[in-house]
Amino acid sequence: MRYGIGICVVAVGIASAAEKASLLAILRQELERNAAVLRTQSQPAYFLAYQVTDLQTVTIEAQAGKLRRSLEQRSRWLDVDLRIGQYELDNTRPLRESFGFVERPYPVQLPLGEDERTLRQLVWYATMQAYDKAAEEYAKVIAGRAVRVREADSVADFSQEQPRREQRLSPHPTVDTAFWGQRVRRLSVLFAGHPWIYSHRVSLQVSSAQKFLVNTEGTQLAWSERGIFLSVAAHTRAEDGMELPLYRTYFAFDFKELPSEERIRQDIERMIELLRRLREAPILETYAGPAILSGEAAAVFFHEILGHRLEGHRQKDPQSAQLLRDFLGKQILPSFLDVVFDPLQRYRDGVPLAGSYTYDDEGVAAQRVVVVEKGVLRNFLLNRTPIPGFAHSNGHGRRQPGMRTVARQSNLLVVARESVSPEELRQRLREECRRQGLEFGLLFDAVEGGFTFTARTIPNAFNVMPLVVYKVYADGRPDELVRGVDLIGTPLTTFAHIVAASSEVGVFNGICGAESGNIPVSASSPSLLVSRIEVQKKAKSDERPPILPPPFVQSE
């Protein structure tokens, strides 16, 4: 299985919170009508939940001072979660022969208004389809158990949680599309004078979701989630064909939290200069030795390498390698590091965190979860799918509308109990190089994301794709920009080589894609010194840069 972290998202509009007041009542009414019949069937539905996501999106994207697109959309989606059997064993039990990604049903789109007749008709029909599908799954589960050896674990398929009732809706924000259209145009025009930057985008993506959830356990919730991503992406190609992209993303809950236009302009100018240098940077051959992962790079590293392996459902999936399950209570990181997932923490060092929310998509209140304490593995990320030793959700059941909820990451926080200054961390890197008899170490300044394999049938390796890497010379020479490598390894070995952390924290906000779709997350970490990492040559395209010079330019 391959997971990626990238950049994206969307949403906005105008709708009063009061207007939605009746939606929960309508959902409740139809829930009770359907559940009353379905629980009396020979294959009884013991649990039924409806989640409605009312999504407003605004996307404004510019290139070279002109709009690529400007879209405002509002849509409303229904998810029906229906379970047949009992909490102990139901239709969701993973089957050994199943593939990792869950089949995606047809999305159920609801009307934007509050008409009871229409809403109930559509909710009813989606419920009938969900029942048929669950009944089919349940029959397979029962048949599978009859002919197969029982799973080693005997944990329930669904946890029992306290019902929650709360309504805390915010109206969708209004977006001044004319103002932001002008701003992204002005920012994108900075790339226009650099024809060797083959593509670039500056985009504003505003998403506002109003979520409504009712279930047969009595939960009845309405809450809001909102996020604004201002993203800059640019791409060039070296003479040898290597793709060289750079990205910069600014996340905010509110427009006033976004950086000033001037600051973004300065960042873009730095990005352009870095791209220019990257095109001419030498290629780094394979390397094994010490390295610093900048805060942002370390954050993505932890998201990919640790975060995905802590997602609870993976500890139950017979296809998953369940690498960390046997390490519970054991040291997996140095004792000066804690790793926490906290959807309730909205800022770190003043930077807004995209993985914030109040309730998860199963209606469980968001919780701070210390997964690693003083280097010792203490916990997993859990939705309502229990795993051995963990009978309850810790509020990390998340999904994109239309997908089945699984345990997902929120705000990953790597916290150093002991740290050194950034300068001292560099000094420690140089010392480590000298100790290992190496001319240089590496500084991974930015990474674009990565992927990791968690399946049982393939090696549990990771691959993190750096965007900006420097050689840091042991003798103190100036750093040298290099390109062309991926950071690779196996998780536990790499964790064991983390030797120091700096006091400076970097934050990565992005969109994570996995089984339950794309969701906003953040990861933040201090810079880390790793005594030994490995890099391998990046899979390089042999595509040549454009043959002709750009129009209007005779030579570059």
Partner 1 sequence: MNVRQSYHLRLFNRSEGFMHRFVIGFCYIVSICSAQTWRPPQTELVFRALEQELQRSLGKLRLERAPAPYYIEYRLQYRAALVAQAVLGELVEMADRPQVMLTVGVRVGTPEVDNTNVATGGVLLFGAGSSRETYRQRSLPVELNDTLLRRELWLATDAAYKDAVEQYGQKLNLLRTRTRRDTTPDFRHLAPAVLADTLPVPLFSSAYAERLCRELSGLFRSYPEFVASAVGFEYLPTRTWYANTEGRRAVKVELFTGVEVVAYAQARDGTPLAQYYSVYARTPAELPSLDSLKRAVIALAERLRAQQQAPALEETYVGPALFEGRAAGELIAQLLVPQLPLQREPLTDQPFFLGRGQSLVRRLGSRILPEFLTLRAIPCQRWLGGTPLVGAYCVDDEGMPAETVTVVERGVLRQLLTTRVPTRWTAGSNGHNRAGAAMVGVVEMIPDDAVPGVLERARLRQQLLELLRQRQLPYGIIVRSVMNLNILQTILARTTLGKYPPFVREGSLPLVAAYRIFPDGREELLQPCEAVGLSVRSLRDIIAVSRERDVYNYLAPAVSSSSEAPYLPVSLVVSDILLDEVEVRPREGDVPKLPIVPPPFLQP
The yes or no reply on residue 99 touching partner 1 (CB under 8 A) is no
For residues 385 and 315, the answer to whether their CB atoms sit within 8 Å is no
The yes or no reply on residue 62 touching partner 1 (CB under 8 A) is yes
Going by their DSSP bridges, the two strands 351-352 and 406-407 should be labelled as unpaired
Cα–Cα distance for residue pair 59/521, rounded to 1 Å: 19
Binding string, residues 391-430; x marks residues near partner 1 by CB under 8 A: ----------------------------------------
The yes or no reply on residue 10 touching partner 1 (CB under 8 A) is no
> Which of 16, 121, 170, 266 touches partner 1 (CB under 8 A)?
121
The yes or no reply on residue 73 touching partner 1 (CB under 8 A) is yes
> Which of 68, 164, 276, 532 touches partner 1 (CB under 8 A)?
68
Nearer to partner 1, 73 or 493 (CB): 73
Q: Find the shortest distance in angstroms from Cβ 22 to partner 1.
A: 14
The yes or no reply on residue 38 touching partner 1 (CB under 8 A) is yes
Q: Other CB atoms closer than 10 Å to residue 22's CB: what's the count?
A: 13
Number of residues interacting with partner 1: please give it, by CB under 8 A: 54
Cα–Cα distance for residue pair 16/22, rounded to 1 Å: 12
Task: Give the number of C-alpha atoms closer than 13 A to the C-alpha of residue 395, restricted to the C-beta side.
Answer: 20
The yes or no reply on residue 102 touching partner 1 (CB under 8 A) is no
Kindly state the tokens that stand for 247.
């990205």
Q: Find the shortest distance in angstroms from Cβ 58 to partner 1.
A: 13
Q: What is the amino acid identity at position 510?
A: G
Q: What is the amino acid identity at position 31?
A: L
- How does DSSP classify residue 295? H
Q: What is the amino acid identity at position 495?
A: F
CA angle (301 as vertex; 297, 304 as ends), nearest 5: 140
The yes or no reply on residue 162 touching partner 1 (CB under 8 A) is no
Which of the residues 518 through 547 are near partner 1 (CB under 8 A)? 541, 543-544, 546-547
Nearest CA-CA partner of 77 in 360, 402, 518: 402
The yes or no reply on residue 111 touching partner 1 (CB under 8 A) is yes
Q: 468: which residues sit within 8 A by CB, 6+ positions away?
A: 246, 274, 278, 444, 445, 446, 481
Cα–Cα distance for residue pair 85/446, rounded to 1 Å: 48
> Which of 84, 108, 281, 321 touches partner 1 (CB under 8 A)?
108
Q: Find the shortest distance in angstroms from Cβ 57 to partner 1.
A: 11
The yes or no reply on residue 117 touching partner 1 (CB under 8 A) is yes
The yes or no reply on residue 115 touching partner 1 (CB under 8 A) is yes
> What is the phi/psi pair of residue 139, to 5°?
-60, -40
> Which of 47, 131, 158, 357 touches partner 1 (CB under 8 A)?
131
Binding string, residues 243-262; x marks residues near partner 1 by CB under 8 A: x-------------------
Q: Is 33 helix (H, G, I), strand (E, B) or coil?
A: helix
For residues 69 and 185, the answer to whether their CB atoms sit within 8 Å is no
Q: Find the shortest distance in angstroms from Cβ 547 to partner 1.
A: 6
Cα–Cα distance for residue pair 3/305, rounded to 1 Å: 10
Question: Residues in the chain, how many?
Answer: 556
Nearer to partner 1, 126 or 293 (CB): 126
> Which of 89, 102, 128, 370 touches partner 1 (CB under 8 A)?
128
The window from 4-12, 211-219, 223-231, 548-556 that contacts partner 1 (CB under 8 A) reads 548-556
Q: Find the shortest distance in angstroms from Cβ 247 to partner 1.
A: 17
Nearer to partner 1, 8 or 128 (CB): 128
The yes or no reply on residue 64 touching partner 1 (CB under 8 A) is yes
Q: 214: which residues sit within 8 A by CB, 6+ positions away?
A: 24, 27, 28, 31, 49, 50, 220, 221
Residue with tokens 């929120």: 410
For residues 521 and 438, the answer to whether their CB atoms sit within 8 Å is no
> Which of 126, 275, 446, 523 touches partner 1 (CB under 8 A)?
126
The window from 33-41, 93-101, 154-162, 409-417 that contacts partner 1 (CB under 8 A) reads 33-41
Which of the residues 177 through 206 are near partner 1 (CB under 8 A)? 192, 195, 198-199
Nearer to partner 1, 475 or 542 (CB): 542
Three-state DSSP string of 218-256:
CCEEEEEEEEEEEEEEEEEECCCCCEEEEEEEEEECCHH
For residues 462 and 453, the answer to whether their CB atoms sit within 8 Å is yes
Which residues are near partner 1 by CB under 8 A? 30, 33-34, 37-38, 41, 62-64, 66-71, 73, 75-76, 105-106, 108-113, 115, 117-118, 120-122, 124-129, 131-132, 192, 195, 198-199, 243, 541, 543-544, 546-548, 550-552
